[in-house]
Structure 1
Amino acid sequence: MKSTSILAISLFLLLSSCTNAQRPGKTPSDKDTPKKNVPAKPAPVRAFAPNPSLFKNHLGINAFEWDFSDDDNSFIPVGRKAVMRSFGGFRHYMDWEKLESNEGQYTFNPVHSGGWNYDMIYEWCKSEGIEILADLKSCPDWLQNTYPEDKRNAENVPAPYGLDRSNPASYVKQARVAFQFAARYGHNKGVPRGLMSVYTKTRWPDDPQNHIRAGLGYVSYIECDNERDKTWKGPQAHQSAEEYAANMSAFYDGHMGRLGKNAGVKTADPAMKVVMGGLSDPDVKYVIKMIEWCKKNRGLKADGSVNLCFDVINYHAYNNDYLPGGDATVGKPPERSQAGKIADEFVAMSEKYAGGTEVWNTESGYDLNPKSTQRAIAIGAKPALITQADWMLRSALLYVRHGIKRSFFYMLDDFDAKSTTQYASAGFAEGHIKRPVADYFLQAKKLIGNFHFIKNMNADPIVDVYSLNDRKIFVMFVPDEKGRKAVYNLNLGDASSAKVYTLVPGANSMSSKIVAAPKGMLNITLTETPVFVEPVTSR
Structure 2
Amino acid sequence: MILPALAFLTLADRIRLTPDMVLNESAVGDAALLVDEQDADAPTRPFFPTWTAWQYPVHVAIELGSECQVDKVSLYSETGGNPIDVSTGKPFAWKAKTVPFGGYQKWFEVPVGERTRWLRLTLTKPTSLPEIVVYGTRLQPVEKPKPVGKRRPLPTMDELIGTNAFIDDPIETIAPVGGIVREYHPWGWDVEGKDGLVRFQPSGAAGGNAWFFDDYYRKLKAAGCTVAPVVWQAPNPLFDYKSKEAKPIAPGSNSEDPLSYRKHAEHFFQYAARYGSRRVEDRLLSLAPGQPRVSGLGLLRYLENWNEPDKNWEGREGWFSPYDLAALSSADYDGHRGRLGRTAGIKNADPSMKLVLGGLAGLNLDLIRAIKLWADAHRGGDFPADVLNLHHYSSSAGEQGWKPDTKAFSPEEDNLRQKLQVFADWRDRNAPDREVWITEFGYDTNPGSPISAPPIGKMTAQEVQGAWLVRGILAAAAARMDRAAMFMLRDVDSKASGVFATCGLVTEKGKWERKPSWYYLAAMRKALKGMRFAAEIPSRNHDVRIYRFDAVKGKAKAYALWCPSREDKRVSFQFSIGPGAKRQISLANGHAVGVSRPLPANSMVTIEVGETPTFVIVG
- TM class by shorter chain equals 0.7 to 0.9
**1:379 alignment partner AA:** I
Aligned counterpart, 1:65: 167
Answer whether contact 1:50 1:453 (CA < 8 A) is retained: no
Q: Which is richer in strand?
A: 2
SS at match of 1:159: coil
Residues 165 and 174 of structure 2 are in contact (CA less than 8 Å); yes or no, is this contact kept in structure 1?
no
1:166-205 mapped onto 2 (5 Å cutoff) = 166-189=256-279, 191-200=280-289
Which residue in the other structure is 1:532 paired with?
615
Whether 1:133 and 2:228 are equivalent positions in the alignment is yes
CA contact (8 A) 2:175 2:223 kept: no
What secondary structure, in the 3-state scheme, does the structure 2 residue paired with 1:153 have? coil
1:39-188 equivalences in 2 (<5 Å): 52-68=154-170, 80-102=171-193, 105-114=197-206, 115-145=210-240, 147=241, 152-188=242-278
CA, structure 1 residues 296+323, in 2 after alignment: closer, same or farther (shift >3 Å)? Answer: closer
- Give the Å deviation of 1:499: 1.0
Instruction: Tell me by how many angstroms 1:210 deviates.
Output: 1.6
Contact 1:144–1:156 at 8 Å: present in 2 too? no
Moved over 6 A (4+): 323-326
CA deviation vs aligned residue, 1:281-327 (integer Å, no higher than 9, x gap)? 2100011000111110111xxxxxx2111001111000012279994
Q: C-alpha distance in 2, partners of 1:164/1:104?
A: 24
Q: Of 514, 518, 521, which aligns to 2:598?
A: 514
What does residue 39 of structure 1 align with? none
Q: 1:483: which partner in 2?
A: 568
Equivalent residue in structure 2 for 1:465, among 548, 565, 576? 548
- Please tell me the residue identity of whatever aligns with 1:267: N
Which shifted more, 326-335 or 107-116?
A: 326-335
Q: Indicate how the Cα distance of structure 1 residues 180 and 83 shifts in structure 2: closer, same or farther if over 3 A, else same.
A: closer
Q: Distance in 2 between matches of 1:165 and 1:433?
A: 44
Which string of whole-angstrom CA distances, capped at 9 and with x for unpartnered residues, describes residues 328-375 of structure 1? Answer: 522111111131222021112212332352111000010011111000
SS at 1:141's partner residue?
Answer: coil
Task: Give per-residue Cα distances to partners, 1:474-514, cap 9 Å, x unaligned.
Answer: 1111111111122332212233x531111121122211112
Distance in 2 (alpha carbons) for counterparts of 1:143 and 1:486: 60
Scaled by the length of structure 2, the TM-score of the pair is: 0.71
Question: Residue in 1 aligned with 2:361?
Answer: 280
Distance, in Å, in 1 between the alignment partners of 2:168 and 2:173 is 15
Cα distance in 2 between the residues matched to 1:218 and 1:343: 29
Match of 1:232 in 2: 313
Is 1:441 aligned to 2:521, yes or no? yes
SS state of the match for residue 598, structure 2? strand
Aligned position for 1:35? none
CA gap 1:256/1:298 in 2 versus in 1, 3 angstroms: same
Deviates more, 1:351-360 or 1:318-327: 318-327
Pairwise CA distance, 1:104: 5.3
- Structure 1 residue identity aligned to 2:486: F
Q: Give the distance between the partners of 1:323 and 1:249, measured in 2 at CA.
A: 30
Alignment of 1:76-475 (within 5 A): 80-102=171-193, 105-114=197-206, 115-145=210-240, 147=241, 152-189=242-279, 191-200=280-289, 209-299=290-380, 306-322=381-397, 327=403, 329-355=406-432, 357-430=434-507, 431-458=511-538, 460=542, 461-468=544-551, 469-475=554-560
* C-alpha distance after superposition, 1:193-247 (max 9, x if no partner): 11012102xxxxxxxx421111111100000111111101111111110111011
2:152–2:433 contact (8 Å) kept in structure 1: no
C-alpha distance 356-347 of structure 1, shift in aligned 2 (>3 A): farther
The answer to whether the 8 A contact 1:90-1:132 is kept is yes
Residue identity in the other structure for 1:375: S
1:466–1:474: 8 Å Cα contact kept in structure 2?
A: yes
Q: Aligned AA for 1:186? A: G
Q: Distance in 1 between matches of 2:437 and 2:415?
A: 16
Q: Structure with the greater relative contact order (CA < 8 A, sep ≥ 6): 1 or 2? A: 1
Helix, strand or coil at the partner of 1:256: coil
| Structure 2 CA distance for partners of 1:326 and 1:387, relative to 1, 3 Å | closer
Distance 1:326 1:375, change over 3 A: closer
- TM superposition shift of 1:255: 0.5
Contact 1:266-1:272 at 8 Å conserved across structures: yes
**In structure 2, the residue corresponding to 1:66 is in which secondary structure?**
coil
Structure-2 separation of matches of 1:217 and 1:321: 43
Taking the aligned partners of 2:596 and 2:446, their CA distance within structure 1 comes to: 32
Distance change (3 Å), C-alpha of 1:501 and 1:140? same
Tell which deviates more after alignment, 324-333 or 363-372: 324-333
Q: Please say which of residues 337-346 and 229-238 is displaced more in the overlay.
A: 337-346
Instruction: Please report how far the alpha carbon of residue 413 of structure 1 lies from its aligned counterpart in structure 2 after TM superposition.
Output: 1.3
User: Could you say if the C-alpha distance between residues 376 and 51 of structure 1 is closer, same or farther in structure 2, counting changes exceeding 3 Å?
Assistant: farther
Superposition TM-score, scaled by structure 1 size: 0.81
Unmatched segments (≥5 aa) in structure 1: 1-48, 69-79, 201-208, 300-305
CA RMSD of superposed structures (Å): 1.9
Between Structure 1 and Structure 2, how many residues are aligned? 455
AA aligned opposite 2:299: Y
Range with bigger deviation, 456-465 or 326-335: 326-335
Q: 2:518 corresponds to which letter in structure 1?
A: A
Question: CA–CA distance in 2 between the matches of 1:319 and 1:528?
Answer: 17
| Structure 1 residue 142 displacement after superposition | 1.7
Structure 2, unpaired ranges of 5+: 1-150
Q: CA, structure 1 residues 122+326, in 2 after alignment: closer, same or farther (shift >3 Å)?
A: closer
The question of whether the paired residues in 2 share the 8 Å contact of 1:165 and 1:246 is answered with yes
Change (3 A) 1:50 1:476: farther
Alpha carbons of 1:117 and 1:326: their partners in 2 closer, same or farther (altered >3 Å)? closer
CA contact (8 A) 2:579 2:601 kept: no
Q: Which moved more, 1:320-329 or 1:390-399?
A: 320-329
Q: Which has the larger radius of gyration?
A: 2
Q: Distance in 1 between matches of 2:406 and 2:537?
A: 33
SS class of match (1:261): coil
1:377-430 alpha-carbon deviations (Å, 9 max, x no partner): 101111001111111111111100111110111111111222222111111112
Report the CA distance shift for 1:355/1:58 in structure 2 as closer, same or farther (over 3 A).
closer
* Aligned counterparts of 1:498 and 1:341: Cα–Cα separation in 2: 31
Amino acid in structure 1 at the alignment position of 2:589? P
Q: Distance between the aligned counterparts of 1:423 and 1:214, measured in 2?
A: 37
Shift in alpha-carbon separation, 1:515–1:355, aligned structure 2, 3 A: closer
The answer (yes or no) to whether the contact 2:519–2:594 under 8 Å persists in 1 is: no
